[in-house]
Amino acid sequence: MTVRVVIGAQFGDEAKGKITDYLASDARYVVRTGGGPNAGHSIHLPEGQLVLHQLACGVLRKGCVGVSGPGMVIQPFALENEMQDLERRGLLRGEVVLSDRAHVLLPLHEIEDGWEDDLRARKNPNARLGTTRRGIGPAYADRVARWGIRLTDLSRPALLRERLELLYAKKTQLTGLPPLDELMARLTEVGERLAPFIRPTEPLLWGALERGENLLLEGAQSALLDVDFGTYPYVTSSHPTSAGALVGSGIPPTELDEVIGVAKAYTTRVGEGPFPTEDSGPSGEFLRRVGGERGATTGRERRCGWLDLVLLRYATRLNGITSLAITKVDVLGGLEEVPVCVQYVLPDGSTARDVLPSQAEDLVKAQPVYERLAGWPEFHERTKERVRREGGRALPATLRRYLARIEEEVGVPIELVGYGPARDETVRLEPQGPGRGAPSLEAWSG
Ligand code: GDP
């Protein structure tokens, strides 16, 4: 039995969806542990591309259970559409389970999200967070302040009405809310339709642990957007860390075996907030264009820059990452050299290698120090074919050196490398010997 968690190790959009889907092949349960309809995990199947928002990728695999866990805030109407869409395309092959403890994201949360960000911007244009306006922050705020409505409440009309009335009484600043009776009716109806899927998920997962089945916890967003340890206040409203995945699923910490950190071979960020290696010139434009860096959920353009090893070391420590999955190495193919940031120089002249200043404005002023590594050739179909056949040894030598340098700098092994969007364009690297420490450069060369 293995309990694994997949964590985004940068600012999101690292291709967690693809890596989770890859790792789901031997999992009996895949659990989404946080977030809501703001997350969009893209997966390229032989049948075409799809984006999962609120369902765990386990729902795509026969014999697998995809659990939307208690740590999530679920927009029930969007979730229903997502299920129907998959069903229509014949892709809903696994089982769907929704935690009765997950909170309900309501239309008023969406209105509140926009209202709050506009209020910030009116007070101070620099204070806008650039949220997705999908209501995630307000839904989490109501959850912790104990105003929230949970999926379990949808089947209790008296309780649901009572809680809705409280919420409406509290949010007097908002305009354009749907009439309470109308919302009540819609929620009761969607609750009835989703009822077959809503159940307590803790006993389900604890039973799986007892039977020794494989569990995969699928984190949404990413470590550097953690509400406590990210670049506050430019963060999400939950804990997208390995610890947060445990809280968001009800799995005890002592059961966790592996933490897989997913990082792109470069860095992107969407929305506002510090981004030390951001490149607003031609290199950033190159990464955006070749990497297709546009939000899966919102369509927003992503900010782009080179790989930041300070952030990766920090994420590794914070999450106890045991191995890395490096994705989108093909995007950098054809470049003569590839810079990586190995440390920052902070405004007071000190250097930082694996810690993040707690003040976002200090991080904005951090100067990245780059090391320039040799690039690798473009990934033609011929190369991809060889990698499929022969594994990691067929990756270009300079790319293997790039990966080895990351391992050396971060101190954990790279186990998976993504070299294209398709489901089979992920290669597992062979362990380099007993103990699987970071391999030496010699071990990788040639
Ligand atoms: P997630 O939320 O972390 O799953 O990230 P996204 O949904 O934004 O996914 C990243 C995008 O990159 C998606 O369009 C993927 O299909 C694509 N992708 C994933 N892995 C690779 C890869 O190794 N190479 C390339 N070129 N694209 C990839």
pLDDT confidence of residue 110: 96
pLDDT confidence of residue 1: 85
Query: Are 180 and 228 found together in one domain?
Result: no
Amino acid identity, position 322:
T
Amino acid identity, position 394:
A
The verdict on the CB of residue 44 being under 6 Å from ligand 1 is yes
Q: Which residues are catalytic?
A: 13, 41
How much distance in Å is there from the Cα of 265 to the middle of ligand 1? 12
The verdict on the CB of residue 37 being under 6 Å from ligand 1 is no
Which of 163, 196, 229 marks a domain boundary? Answer: 196
Mean pLDDT value of segment 367-382? 96
Range of the domain at 222: 3-60+213-428
pLDDT confidence of residue 246: 97
- Measure the CA–CA gap between 413 and 322, rounded to whole angstroms: 7
pLDDT confidence of residue 445: 34
441 pLDDT more than 60: no
SS3 content of the chain, % helix, strand, coil (to 5): 40, 20, 40
Does the model's pTM come out above 0.75?
yes
Question: Which candidate, 152, 378, 362, places its Cα nearest to that of 273?
Answer: 362
pLDDT confidence of residue 437: 39
Query: Are 330 and 389 found together in one domain?
Result: yes
Residue 8 maps to a domain:
yes
pLDDT confidence of residue 68: 98
Residue 69 maps to a domain:
no
Determine how β-strand 307-308 pairs with β-strand 103-104: unpaired
Query: Are 371 and 416 found together in one domain?
Result: yes
Query: Are 113 and 247 found together in one domain?
Result: no
pLDDT confidence of residue 440: 42
pLDDT confidence of residue 321: 98
Which helix (H) or strand (E) is 387 found in, with range? helix 381-390
**Helix-then-strand count for the chain, H and E:** 14, 20
Residue 93 — φ and ψ, nearest 5°? -100, -25
> Ligand 1, residues 262, 327, 376: which to mutate, most atoms within 8 A of Cβ?
327
- Measure the CA–CA gap between 383 and 394, rounded to whole angstroms: 7
SS3 label, residue 162: helix
Determine how β-strand 267-269 pairs with β-strand 303-305: antiparallel
pLDDT confidence of residue 294: 84
Collect all residues with Cβ–Cβ distance below 8 Å to 288 and sequence separation of at least 6: 294, 301, 302, 304
Query: Are 352 and 231 found together in one domain?
Result: yes
The verdict on the CB of residue 219 being under 6 Å from ligand 1 is no
**Protein residue with its CA nearest to atom 27 in ligand 1:** 421
Collect all residues with Cβ–Cβ distance below 8 Å to 190 and sequence separation of at least 6: 76, 77, 80, 154
pLDDT confidence of residue 87: 96
Atom of ligand 1 nearest to the CA of 17: 4
The verdict on the CB of residue 421 being under 6 Å from ligand 1 is yes
Q: What is the pLDDT of residues 26-85, one digit of tens each?
A: 999 999 999 999 767 888 888 888 989 999 999 999 999 999 999 999 999 999 999 999
The verdict on the CB of residue 240 being under 6 Å from ligand 1 is no
376 pLDDT more than 90: yes
Collect all residues with Cβ–Cβ distance below 8 Å to 403 and sequence separation of at least 6: 326, 329, 395, 414, 417, 429, 444
Picking from 148-157, 160-169, 298-307, 388-397, which range would have the lowest pLDDT averaged per residue? 298-307
Query: Are 221 and 359 found together in one domain?
Result: yes
Mean pLDDT value of segment 246-275? 96
Residue 144 maps to a domain:
yes
Query: Are 44 and 170 found together in one domain?
Result: no
How much distance in Å is there from the Cα of 122 to the middle of ligand 1? 35
pLDDT confidence of residue 439: 41
Mean pLDDT value of segment 403-415? 97
- Measure the CA–CA gap between 141 and 97, rounded to whole angstroms: 24
Cα dihedral sign, 7-10-16-19: negative
Which CATH number goes with the domain that contains 360?
A: 3.90.170.10
Query: Are 225 and 373 found together in one domain?
Result: yes
Cα dihedral sign, 145-151-153-157: positive
Mean pLDDT value of segment 180-193? 98
298 pLDDT more than 90: no
pLDDT confidence of residue 297: 65
How much distance in Å is there from the Cα of 287 to the middle of ligand 1? 13
Residue 433 maps to a domain:
no
Mean pLDDT value of segment 261-275? 95
Residue 15 maps to a domain:
yes
pLDDT confidence of residue 296: 64
**Percent of the chain scored above 90 by pLDDT?**
84
Residue 268 maps to a domain:
yes
Picking from 41-55, 278-292, 416-430, which range would have the lowest pLDDT averaged per residue? 41-55
pLDDT confidence of residue 438: 40
Q: Which residue has the higher pLDDT, 37 or 300?
A: 37
Query: Are 228 and 314 found together in one domain?
Result: yes
- Measure the CA–CA gap between 434 and 236, rounded to whole angstroms: 39
Determine how β-strand 95-99 pairs with β-strand 65-68: parallel
Cα dihedral sign, 108-147-234-326: negative
Mean pLDDT value of segment 88-99? 96
Q: Which residue has the tokens 């420590």?
A: 317
Q: What is the pLDDT of residues 315-338, one digit of tens each?
A: 999 999 999 999 999 999 999 999
How much distance in Å is there from the Cα of 396 to the middle of ligand 1? 21
Q: Tell me, rounded to whole angstroms, the distance of Cα 364 from its chain centroid.
A: 23
Average confidence score pLDDT of the chain: 93
In the chain, how many domains are there? 2
Query: Are 414 and 388 found together in one domain?
Result: yes
Atom of ligand 1 nearest to the CA of 419: 23
Mean pLDDT value of segment 392-415? 97
The verdict on the CB of residue 41 being under 6 Å from ligand 1 is yes
**Protein residue with its CA nearest to atom 10 in ligand 1:** 15
Which CATH number goes with the domain that contains 108?
A: 1.10.300.10
Q: Is 435 exposed, middle or buried (0-12, 13-18, 19+ CB in 10 A)?
A: exposed
Query: Are 173 and 236 found together in one domain?
Result: no
pLDDT confidence of residue 31: 97
pLDDT confidence of residue 432: 62
Residue 89 maps to a domain:
no
**Protein residue with its CA nearest to atom 14 in ligand 1:** 42
274 and 234 in contact (C-beta within 8 Å)? Answer: yes
Amino acid identity, position 299:
G
Picking from 36-45, 60-69, 383-392, 414-423, which range would have the lowest pLDDT averaged per residue? 36-45
Query: Are 239 and 179 found together in one domain?
Result: no
Residue 333 maps to a domain:
yes
The verdict on the CB of residue 317 being under 6 Å from ligand 1 is no
The verdict on the CB of residue 296 being under 6 Å from ligand 1 is yes
